[in-house]
Structure 1
């Protein structure tokens, strides 16, 4: 991993997102939260840090179905997020890490049957988690 420069903006982003590990936020929401913690950080600095943190795998970046905004979620407890797929609950937004054996076999099947080479880092499967499905039943 490249050297990570610790800046007020980066530290603010990490601090905020670590407090909410199961939630996802837009860049605007992250900017507003970090700006409350560390005044004077400009929006461009936050966006630049978000992009860098996605490149290093510290953050997940994805779009929600039928939404225009990109969402970010902290992913430090899962190394190499670029090597496996993710599933997202359409109800609560929670991200699930679909580990390498599943991602690999799924990718091979899609490639052999449809000729599509899946990029695991860009793949998010949308569905409903057990918790939300059980809530809907009650």
Structure 2
């Protein structure tokens, strides 16, 4: 049986491009809807969620729970989908998301397995705090 190519529409390309351009922050479905409306592209909200679910299943984006609401937010993880292997840091002031993709993650993973007999799964995990820039501009 012949393998089907993924079905790509202008709307899907626009959504993916928007997520890529905003990869250092989390994006909600409402943000995507607003972006598409600004470009005069009409897309049903259900279609947006369906495509986001597909991108999550393909490990192209990561779905997080937004700490400020009960809604989900998304971040572009890359075509390789390696964001599932490390934690992310999110600034509670500016919303910037940074990848904790360094040797520390290997050390942490090994420690947790050796000392606590627990296999760490980092998919969708965020540590919240203040980024360097917001810390400098803060009255803390």
TM bracket, shorter-chain basis: 0.7 to 0.9
Supply the distance in 2 between the matched residues of 1:18 and 1:60 (Cα, whole angstroms).
12
TM-score (norm 1): 0.79
Q: Could you say which residue in structure 2 is the equivalent of 1:109?
A: 111
Supply the distance in 1 between the matched residues of 2:62 and 2:73 (Cα, whole angstroms).
8
Q: Secondary structure at the match of 2:138?
A: helix
Q: Could you say which residue in structure 1 is the equivalent of 2:33?
A: 31
**How far did 1:86 drift?**
1.1
Where in structure 2 are there 5+ consecutive unaligned residues?
none
- Aligned pair count reads 137
**Match 1:69 to one of 53, 68, 71:** 71
CA 1:93–1:78: 2 relative to 1, 3 Å: farther
TM-score (norm 2): 0.78
Structure 2 residue 16 is the aligned partner of structure 1 residue 14: yes
CA 1:91–1:113: 2 relative to 1, 3 Å: farther
Deviations 1:37-90 (A, max 9, x none): 353321111111111112223222212324211111223387511122111111
Supply the distance in 2 between the matched residues of 1:78 and 1:124 (Cα, whole angstroms).
19
Q: RMSD of the TM alignment (CA)?
A: 2.7
